[in-house]
Amino acid sequence: MIECDVLVVGCGPAGASAARAAATMGAKVICIDKKKEVGVPVQCAEGIGSYLFPYLPFKIPKHQLKWRIDGIRFWVDGVEIERKGGFWTGYTINRKLFDLWLSHLAKKAGARIVTGTEFVSLDKMSSIHCISKGRNIEISAKAIVAADGSESRVLKELGEYNPKPGDVGEVYSWEMNGVKLGAPNLEQIYAGEFAPGGYGYIFPKSKKSANVGVGIPLPKKDPQEYFEQFFEISSVKKQLGRGKRTIEKSKKEIWGDVSKKWIYDNVIVVGDAANQNLKPFIEGILPAVISGNIAGELACLNASGQGVQERQYRNELKKRLGQHFDASAEAMAVIEKIFRLKGKSKYVLFTGFISQVFGVEKLQQLEACTSTELKRKLMELA
Ligand SMILES: Cc1cc2nc3c(=O)[nH]c(=O)nc-3n(C[C@H](O)[C@H](O)[C@H](O)COP(=O)(O)OP(=O)(O)OC[C@H]3O[C@@H](n4cnc5c(N)ncnc54)[C@H](O)[C@@H]3O)c2cc1C
């Protein structure tokens, strides 16, 4: 039996950040991950928004910021608009190197990172059973952080993983090389019938490489079929047609709450497992680092017997990212409503809304417009 104060399950951005924070406060921390190597395989489009930098618990070194992003180009039914500057700017990172860097920060703070070790079951909320390199291991911890992502086994073990249809969707994605991007410093978001309820994306990694994918909250067929349909769009084909799919990066992703609470006794849930990514762009890397820092500090308090309350956790996160999570929840409600509309115009409304060209207060009025009228307005106002 191995003993520690805080056991973190998952060494993604949320787990590594939680492990770092708890170890910094003096706790004996073990962070396990089922992956053999931290950050591998990468299952992400690797985009981060600069607007979140001020909320981070530490600075991201320049060498982690691999490719500059000046904005987003939105496409719907042959119409293209661009949003640049401020909120729309950011970087493409290399998730493998980024996650590794975060795990090094945790290690430097004193946490023990143990890879190739899978959480299997939980006994009386304090002792966990895992399998490491074929061997059974028991770890006893005073507090546990569940940072094990969109299909959280910790939540499943607790009987608290209860997604409704659409809460856990699919992102079918590939890294592509040898592509010919129209604007290599702009991300691209595509909406249309090929992606009901979701969208296609091209996130550049360099002039000639990009992460390309389609995210669907409620897939009705094999996710790859949506992706192949995405490639039928002429501007997609033109840019990517000669490129090679090199690394598959598909994964399930969180669109809604899979559990009611973020704290179950001495277990604190964080990151994707707690639906802490920002919609509509399912931006979860930096929010996971920020919430991971909070969860790690609270887990440390939990381990020292100071019983942490759900409200305290939510308030701490609200202080940092409250406005962004409020906007995210509102966006989800609006998008669900838009996608309940009939006809093609919903894709234009969706694009207008997520590009922040159509304000939420105007949407009801705009619902009466035809697709052609909406496209004209979109171009006029962008
Ligand atoms: C295809 C795709 C593209 C995305 N693109 C972007 C993007 O461009 N920008 C952005 O900000 N966000 C993006 N996201 C979302 C982002 O990846 C997540 O929000 C973020 O990774 C959440 O971090 P996390 O630490 O909570 O979970 P994860 O990064 O999923 O980490 C969870 C860790 O837990 C480990 N684990 C799971 N189960 C166990 C177990 N039983 N035992 C031990 N370890 C376990 C996993 O191996 C993993 O390392 C994307 C998501 C997907 C699927």
**pLDDT tens track for 196-225:** 999 999 999 999 999 999 999 999 999 999
Ligand 1 atom showing the smallest separation from residue 251 Cα: 53
* Separation of alpha carbons 67 and 330, rounded Å: 30
Q: What are 12-56's pLDDT values in tens digits?
A: 999 999 999 999 999 999 999 999 999 999 999 999 999 999 999
* pLDDT of 124 higher than 80: no
Residue 169 pLDDT level (bands cut at 50, 70, 90): very high
Give me the CATH code for the 2-46+94-163+256-328 domain, please: 3.50.50.60
For the chain, the C-alpha Rg in angstroms (whole number) is: 21
User: 171 CB under 6 A from ligand 1?
Assistant: yes
DSSP annotation of 50: G
The CATH homologous superfamily to which domain 168-251 belongs is D-Amino Acid Oxidase, subunit A, domain 2 (3.30.9.10)
- Ligand 1 neighbour 9 (Cβ under 6 A): yes
User: Could you tell me if the CB of 90 is within 6 A of ligand 1?
Assistant: no
Of ligand 1's atoms, which has the minimum distance to the CA of residue 46? 8
Q: What is the mean pLDDT of residues 267-282?
A: 97
Q: Where are the domains of the chain?
A: 2-46+94-163+256-328, 168-251, 341-381
In short, whether 32's Cβ falls inside 6 Å of ligand 1 is yes
Binding site membership of 14 for ligand 1 (Cβ less than 6 Å):
yes
**Ligand 1: residue whose CA is nearest its atom 4:** 44
Nearest to 349 by CA among 373, 318, 323, 315: 373
- Which of the listed residues 34, 35, 37, 44 should we mutate to test ligand 1's pocket, taking the one with most ligand atoms within 8 A of CB? 44
CA separation, residue 289 to residues 53, 184, 377 (Å):
11, 27, 38
pLDDT for 123: 86
Nearest CA to ligand 1 atom 30: 149
Phi, psi at 12, each rounded to 5°: -85, -165
